[in-house]
Chain A
Amino acid sequence: MNEIVPVVEMTDISIGFPGVKALDGVGFRLYQGEVHALMGENGAGKSTLIKALTGVYTIDSGTITVLGENKRFSAPAESQAAGISTVYQEVNLCPNLTVEENILLGREPRRRGSIDWKGVRSRAREVLAELHLEHVDPGSLLSSHSIAVQQLIAIARSVEVSAKVLILDEPTSSLDAGEVAQLFGVIRQLRDSGVAILFVSHFLEQVYEISDRMTVLRNGKLVGEYLTRDLSRMSLISKMIGKELEALAELDEAPARTRTRSEEGSTPFLETEGIGRKGSVANVDLSIHPGEVLGLAGLLGAGRTEIARLLFGADKADAGLIRIKGNERKIRSPRAAIDRRIAFCSEDRKKEGLIGDLSVRDNLVLAMQASKGWARRIPRRTQDELVAEYIEALDIRPANPDALIKNLSGGNQQKVLLARWLVTHPELLILDEPTRGIDIGAKTQIQKLVNRLAAEGMSVLFISSELEEVLRVSDRIAVIKDREKVAEINNDGVCAEDVMAVIAGGTQ
């Protein structure tokens, strides 16, 4: 294999952003006719590497060769001219144009300077047929198709240029099993025709199903290059996380939850009956008692966040009803939810949580101030007391109330956002991925905090992609799959495999 010249060879690539080294001397080789998986946790540098290869980012140092030729890309067009096509997770096509145009945009056949629309139609039909997409009308608007079909159309676009390299960045994250199978069929077909495919996915099983080799990154550095069949799942995970297996096991010990089992028959703080929203989630029944932690388990994109948003009024439910302390209530906006003493920490800290240019103090008292209205400003002294109290209690660093929140680390930002809600004394706290992307110390602190809050009588809805974490903090676990609740498990002695089995077990 090593005698053949790689289609793409990246050597000693470094890219830095203010304050961060996103890629540090990474090397990467991609050969003709292989499916190569790029593996690593969030923030390992996968998307940065892809963007370097596609010309979205310019590399600071290192070399990129395509088919033995030295290249330096500074725009996506240059990378594409070199035969590299990319299909992104959030389909990057134009929804206002037709399918055929999206396939051929910028490369339309022309006759005397004028686009040959008949030629466009027939070329589009050919390409669609190649991918067994005959049922897609080339003249229909892109936006009239499902995400899965849009994704395949994006691939059709790269097939059309007969790309030498096809990069698939999380292509399956919004596809169902059947659609994934169809996609994999297309990928194999392309691979066999000699295309080099770079595949990025969070889904281990998919990676093992489709890839021939893999490159593992961690913290912007190269861990190694492996043959997929030679690398076990467990050793892959330990290489991605950078800890030995024993250390992993140890980590799982973490704070033990003193369970305050809710009494049977007591009135739940919040109860839903068949709530749902068109195109989002359907028919969800949940109940959360005071002092109880309800975990939501399920895969990324299963509908966990969507449920949280319905409960908080961030999206309006169009079916079902919500009862709070036994009384039916309509929750039409976040404001209404907050007035019912519900708090929500979004999974997207930067977009949905932080007010980046404001200070820690302003961010921390924001929800409380919003509840009081603009006219009644929280007195400065009260603000100082609250801020000092929570900086101390949650160990927020730097302990400077006037620091701009955008300059804090992820873990500390998360703590400020938690404090924002804790000062309002909510009765139900919804935490969506509260520990994502933060360091292990802060993570443990947050888990302990959840524990303590529940012990004090608060209801908590805890959402996390890490099953172990959900198991560690929750009293009960609702399993979400396919945008519905499929099971509810009492957390007494169950392990991650049990929950996994429920998720794997198909819809009951």
Chain B
Amino acid sequence: MSPNSTLAPFAIRKGSAPRRQLRGNARYAPTFATLGLFLAMFAVGAGMYPSFLSGQVFLNLFIDNTFLIVLAVGMTFVILTGGIDLSVGAVVALSMMVAATLLQQGWNPAAVIVLVLLIGSTLGLAMGLIIHHFEIQPFIVTLAGMFLARGLCYVISLDSIPVTEGFFTGMAQAQIPLPGDLFVSPGVILALAIVAAAFFVLHHTRFGRTVYAIGGNENSAMLMGLPVRTTKVLVYALSGFCSAVAGILFSFYSLSGYSLAAQGMELDAIAAVVIGGTLLTGGTGYVLGSVVGVLVLGIVQTFIAYDGTLSSWWTKIVIGALLLAFILLQRLFTRKTT
């Protein structure tokens, strides 16, 4: 050994690096677990109720949850950066209220939709800016955003406002036929288009990769010269935009605006993302996983509807239990590597 190298410090053995991320194929494990769960639930449903095993029952999972799929897409972006957005449910309600009110006053539906999308995105952008510039935890800022949006709903009206406008009712009733006597709603196509766009953005653009990098190690991402600030702010704007789209889709679905609508929907969205395999600490997860997460939530509701003896509150309890199970699963996967 040369005299120079004797002063070298010593090797840290392989495997001693601190790791908070899932390794190798373990990355996909939670998502596959969810997919397996979904298939198992579908199989059980088919075993219990013969009519369960039909293409339409499967498609209905999409038709009944278009808004939740879109919400989960936005939430996936936010959670991937390690943040959280509690305002989404309230923004959905606000979007519905604004849409219903303006349509009642005879606005052009296209103008209404544009305005609603603008309001949602602006709210999200504002929250992102506050989170970033004042370094306040996302949950408290989005909590305030939730207050604000819900409060604005109350200000608009305390009563439910029906939507009778032609385009919206048309969308509510429209069915796009598929081979084999099946059909989907136009909302499903829109939601899936958004999912595809999100997939592309996350996996094939620099913005998307920056989202992952921030979740992996924000400080590193900053030191690597990535546009951390812009990305973090945009992620909340994106979530606000998705909430507004979800609001429009929910309006198609329910044909009304009500200030108490979409209560607790932020929890459903978070649950779908977590069940879909995205780590709450950020950096790992897939938008397609979130879609499967929504389908799992949807199938729980379908079960309860099919059963008939079970009441609606079981949905909440089961979602809570699933959320818990997947959080514990995440702990299990990450504990070994922390």
Contact = CB atoms under 8 A, between A and B. Distances in A.
A485 interface: no
Interface in B210-269: 210, 212-213, 215-217, 219-227
A423 interface: no
Nearest to B18: A95
A114 B219 CA distance: 26
A492 interface: no
A113 B205 CA distance: 7
A153 B191 CA distance: 40
A75 B212 CA distance: 20
Interface in A138-176: 141, 143-148, 150, 157, 172-176
B50 interface: no
Given A175-B9, A203-B9, A146 B14 contact: yes
A363 interface: no
A177 B223 contact: no
A205 B8 CA distance: 8
A94 B10 contact: no
Given A86-B223, A94-B217, A205 B7 contact: yes
Interface string A481-508: 1110000000000000000000111100
Contacts of B20: 95
B9 A172 contact: yes
Contact of A96 (B17, B200, B225, B283): B283
A258 to B, nearest CB: 33
A181 B206 CA distance: 35
Contacts of B224: 76, 92-94, 105-106, 157
Given A114-B204, A143-B21, A144-B24, A279 B216 contact: no
B21 A175 contact: no
B9 A77 contact: no
A86 B224 CA distance: 9
A106 B206 contact: yes
Main secondary structure of the interface of B (DSSP, over half): loop
Contacts of A157: 224
A47 B19 CA distance: 25
Nearest to B21: A96
Nearest to A140: B24
Interface string B10-49: 1111111101111110010000000000000000000000
Contacts of B110: none
A254 interface: no
Interface in B103-148: none
A80 B221 CA distance: 13
A96 B284 contact: yes
A205 B212 CA distance: 40
Nearest to B227: A77
Contact of B220 (A92, A205, A279): A92
B19 A173 contact: no
A209 interface: yes
Given A205-B3, A205-B4, A205-B6, A174 B225 contact: no
13 contacts: A75-B225, A77-B225, A96-B284, A97-B212, A97-B213, A115-B209, A117-B204, A146-B12, A146-B17, A205-B7, A299-B7, A299-B10, A505-B6
Given A172-B8, A301-B12, 10 more contacts: A56-B223, A75-B225, A76-B225, A106-B225, A106-B227, A113-B205, A141-B27, A177-B6, A204-B7, A483-B10
Complex A-B, nearest 8 residue pairs according to Cβ-Cβ distance, in ascending order: A176-B11, A94-B216, A279-B16, A96-B216, A504-B6, A77-B225, A96-B283, A177-B5
